[in-house]
């Protein structure tokens, strides 16, 4: 609901289809199965361009020329270096989150980076300072994730390498080896496709916090908090768990039928926005099939049979694979452990969040909706009447 001239306007629960702000960063057209970053198809960018090029596009509005891209990559590499006090703090953060909550560890680590860098509220910064902070937070995120993961495994983290691209070095920091071109491209395609996707809960959270004038680190930490919720963060690892639970091709029909009839959910199928095939799923299926192998063949067979069975068991409801189904396959093929699937998604989405933070900060208007009170009747206000104990 919004308040205009003291009149409350009812809107759908969850703000579904309510336009809360304008953006020049991109759009999702769910009924068409299409989304874009600025003036380019997001899927075309994921197929044909590097992660850094898409990042540059969101920040500056155009794809970079060769010299601009080289300078931007240098800037990213410099921004990936950890402040010494933060590097010293990471083992303690890893111990605090020893249960495997990588997003909680990342929130603490990013708050430490913001403090160590002396990040100021965006309200008090000029455009260049805001841009510097946005690049810093997005660039350092994968380094923090990889370092926390290494400490959790009892290893000493590797240092970032300036001569590798953003995606290649993230894979190296996680797996301990420099990836080949095929694995770098596969992960780059996924991460580029995951940078932004409309006013989802975490992106909107980032914009709300940015609208208060808070610093970039605080806004990204809020977005991470929203992403940690089970209703938003996605479940690429759970989609793989489904494949593991089914086990063999001959068990597909029985497992799916039993799951659906018992009211369970088949992870990796259905999306809140898309009413046709999720374009990200189609892209990642292509990437996975490029590697081939029994795991990929089994996933394709499960996808085909699940859609057939869901059409029979839930007539009238057209459910397709979403991004999670093949994202898990691609990340597994690239050597990323399951506990880092959602954090890896966050390492991409932080680029989108920071672009939205910059856009919201430039707007300068605090987001302050109204609510409709539905509790017990309140007394009529009288001037000077004391509140009863």
So which residues are the catalytic ones? 271, 324
- Cβ distance 239 to 325 under 8 Å? yes
Q: Which residue has the tokens 């839930």?
A: 314
CA distance 199 to 50: 24
Contact at 8 Å (CB) between 342 and 240? no
CB atoms within 10 A of CB 294: 7
User: What does the alpha-carbon distance between residue 7 and residue 167 come to, in Å, rounded to a whole number?
Assistant: 50
Displacement of CA 195 from its chain's centroid (Å): 7
Provide the H-helix boundaries in 61-215: 66-79, 84-96, 102-117, 127-152, 166-175, 181-193, 201-211
Give CA–CA dist 82/70, Å, rounded. 21
Closest by Cα among 16, 6, 3 to 272:
16
Pick from 234, 226, 191: nearest CA to 208: 226
Instruction: Report the 3 state secondary structure along 77-117.
Output: HHHCCCCHHHHHHHHHHHHHCCCCCHHHHHHHHHHHHHHHH
Which residues is 321 bridged to in the sheet?
269
Contact 72, 56 (CB under 8 A): yes
CA angle 51, 232, 98 (to 5 degrees): 85
Burial of 267 (C-beta count, 10 Å sphere; 0-12/13-18/19+): buried
Nearest to 281 by CA among 35, 40, 13: 35
């Amino acid at each position: 609901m919004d308040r205009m001239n003291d009149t409350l306007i009812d809107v759908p629960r969850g703000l579904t289809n309510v336009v809360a702000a304008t953006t020049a960063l991109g759009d999702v057209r769910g009924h068409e199965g299409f989304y874009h970053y600025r003036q380019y198809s997001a899927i075309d960018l994921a197929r044909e361009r590097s992660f850094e090029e898409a990042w540059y596009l969101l920040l500056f509005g155009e794809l970079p020329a060769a010299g601009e891209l080289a300078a931007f990559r240098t800037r990213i590499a410099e921004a990936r270096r950890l402040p010494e006090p933060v590097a010293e703090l990471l083992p303690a953060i890893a111990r605090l989150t020893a249960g495997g909550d990588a997003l909680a560890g990342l929130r603490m680590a990013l708050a430490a980076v913001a403090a160590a860098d002396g990040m100021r509220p965006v309200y008090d910064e000029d455009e260049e300072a805001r841009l510097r902070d946005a690049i810093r937070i997005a660039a350092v995120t994968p380094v923090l994730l990889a370092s926390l993961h290494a400490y959790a495994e009892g290893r000493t983290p590797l240092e970032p390498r300036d001569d590798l691209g953003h995606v290649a070095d993230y894979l190296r920091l996680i797996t301990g080896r420099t990836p080949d071109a095929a694995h770098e491209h596969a992960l780059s395609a996924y991460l580029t496709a995951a940078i932004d996707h409309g006013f989802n809960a975490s992106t909107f959270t980032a914009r709300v916090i940015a609208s208060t004038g808070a610093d970039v680190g605080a806004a990204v930490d809020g977005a991470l908090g929203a992403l940690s919720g089970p209703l938003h963060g996605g479940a690429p690892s759970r989609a793989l768990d489904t494949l593991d639970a089914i086990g063999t091709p001959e068990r597909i029909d029985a497992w799916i039928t039993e799951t659906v009839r018992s009211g369970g959910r088949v992870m990796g199928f259905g999306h809140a926005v898309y009413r046709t095939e999720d374009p990200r799923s189609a892209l990642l299926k292509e990437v996975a099939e490029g590697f081939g192998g029994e795991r990929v063949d089994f996933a394709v067979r499960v996808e085909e049979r699940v859609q057939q069975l869901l059409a029979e068991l839930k007539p009238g409801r057209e459910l397709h694979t979403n991004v999670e189904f093949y994202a898990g396959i691609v990340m597994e093929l690239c050597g990323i452990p399951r506990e880092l699937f959602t954090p890896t998604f966050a390492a991409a989405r932080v680029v989108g969040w920071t672009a939205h933070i910059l856009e919201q900060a430039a707007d300068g208007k605090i987001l302050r909706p109204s609510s409709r009170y539905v509790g017990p009747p309140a007394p009529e206000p009288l001037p000077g009447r004391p509140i009863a104990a």
